[in-house]
Amino acid sequence: MLRTLAIICLLVLHTPACIAEAPEPRPEAVPEYGYRVVSQVRFDRQNFTQGLEIHNGRLYVSSGLYGASMLRAYDFPSLDLLHEVPVDRRIFAEGLTVIDDRLILLSWRERVMLVYQLPDLTLVGQSALPGQGWGATHSGSVLWFSDGSDRLYSADIAGDGKLNVLPVTLNGEPLRNLNELEWVDGEIWANVWQSDVIARIDPKTGLVVGMINLSGLLPQEDRLRDTDVLNGIALDSSTGAIWVTGKRWPWLFEIALENPAD
């Protein structure tokens, strides 16, 4: 009987009942990286840091909150304040990035993107956003931004401006709360809001290829009642150093990754 059944299955191999389904391949575990602090410099604690970028020897910071949003430019690495520009009180400033000689600033709920001329941070225009703005970065003329969901958006602002959407997944599941962004060696690094981790994202596939655990980065003795979450990633292209901070943090930290954490 068993032999007869086997022969029947061979003869009608196209019949679904006779086909053993191969198990779906299990996704490879995403490596988790630790860190070490290479150096740290005092940072202005009044910054409710939303965006962070190092460009031509300056550190640009967007500080959020309604009625208190600011853009600040500091000499880097001394962090002497060079310019301070208030943002319209009706706008909650979010992420920023610098493309050529223009600084692009996102707003949270106002659905506008503000454009400033460097180096003096002169407001020269604005453009519509399709939704909320959270984090921003760029590669060449391609602007990337997040909206707090599991998606990243991109558009070539020197081209047709067509908006592309990239779902981001971690181990096959959507990774939500993507916030501040930075382009680092062909990857997009993203703060995950309300956590101490940074996701390393492949911009071609949306797959998370690594998680950086920064737990304990800010010592407990440096935390005040208004100290908020980790947020802010900046690559110093002149040295390759990675700098991070948080909302109302008193330090800017240079970090190096420790290969995957145990």
| Residue 3 pLDDT exceeds 80 | no
| Residue 14 pLDDT exceeds 50 | no
| Residue 12 pLDDT exceeds 80 | no
How far is residue 88's CA from residue 182's CA, in Å, rounded to a whole number? 25
* Structural fold of domain 30-258: Neuraminidase (2.120.10)
For residue 161, what pLDDT is reported?
81
Mean pLDDT over 12-28 rounds to 43
Mean pLDDT over 160-181 rounds to 94
Question: What is the sign, positive or negative, of the torsion defined by CA atoms of 161, 113, 60, 189?
Answer: negative
- Determine what percent of the chain is predicted with pLDDT higher than 70: 89
For residue 16, what pLDDT is reported?
40
Give the lowest-confidence range in 15-24, 86-95, 171-180: 15-24
Q: What are 82-113's pLDDT values in tens digits?
A: 999 999 999 999 999 999 999 999 999 999 99
- Could you tell me the pLDDT band of residue 19, with boundaries at 50, 70 and 90? very low
For residue 261, what pLDDT is reported?
54
| Residue 21 pLDDT exceeds 60 | no
| Residue 77 pLDDT exceeds 80 | yes
| Residue 125 pLDDT exceeds 90 | yes
pTM: 0.86
Domain ranges in the chain are 30-258
